[in-house]
Amino acid sequence: MIVEDQGIIISARDFEERYIVVQCFLKNNGLMGGLVRVSKSSKTDCSPGNIVHATWNARLREHLGHYKFDLIRNTLAATAFDRTAVTFIRAAIAVSLLVLHEKEKQVELFNELEAFLLATSQPCTKFFYSKYLSLELCILKAGGFGLELNKCVGSGKTVELIYISPKSGAVVGREAGEPYHDKMLKLPQSMLTFQNGISEHELYDCLQITRYFIEKNILSATGKKMPFERELMLEILQSNCEN
């Protein structure tokens, strides 16, 4: 059986002397593992975050097949190995893995992760930060807990949206939410307009909201903690905001 698809390298580790075991997120086939024969280019091609054209080959789909990659984009090299960008890339992959499943097609999540990786050539810009937030919102949606940010869940109004319900993840307007304000989460206004670009400070505030819902709706069911890579990314972001 042969599968050809566009992919994003998720992880790679050495296996014996001649092979690398690679997990690749394929656009139309989901997360698939396979072996890559060690060569002069394989270490570079298999770097997590790289965008590739992948050919996977095995006798049966259930088997651990063999991969061949044609490199489309060396993501780390495109960032000039910027410390912040590299940290964000590792966080993006780690958080995406929370909702990735073996051989499950997730085109929307693939597109969001790819868009973020392409944005890493412009690290520490409002565009870069907006793409990361968009990815985490998509991860929540992929996990079955997308946030409703378009209108007040109570009144249907689209103005004065200042709260977000900690239970439903839906935004609530000032008037509808006032009687319950002590039970609501404060909604960072940049979450409503982030597509136009957001600052470091705005991203930091927004990531407190996505963190709450990732922990409540995705991690709590498995007993897992927030990935270390994501925690480190938030620490760096906080440090940048304070300087």
Provide the mean pLDDT of the chain: 93
pLDDT 10s digits, 16-57? 889 999 999 999 999 999 999 988 888 889 999 999 999 999
pLDDT at residue 11, rounded to an integer: 96
Of 169, 171, 168, 147, residue with least CA distance to 160: 171
| Vertex 108: Cα angle to 208 and 73 (nearest 5) | 90
Asked if residue 150 has pLDDT above 70, the reply is yes
Task: Show the domains of the chain with their CATH numbers.
Answer: 2-73 (2.40.50.140), 79-151+157-242 (1.20.1440.120)
pLDDT 10s digits, 216-226? 999 998 888 99
Asked if residue 8 has pLDDT above 90, the reply is yes
Is-above-0.85 flag for pTM?
A: yes
Asked if residue 61 has pLDDT above 70, the reply is no
Q: What is the DSSP string of 30-80?
A: EEEEEEEE--TTHHHHT-TT-EEEEEEE-SSTTS-EEEEEEEEE-HHHHTT
pLDDT at residue 58, rounded to an integer: 83
Length of the chain: 243
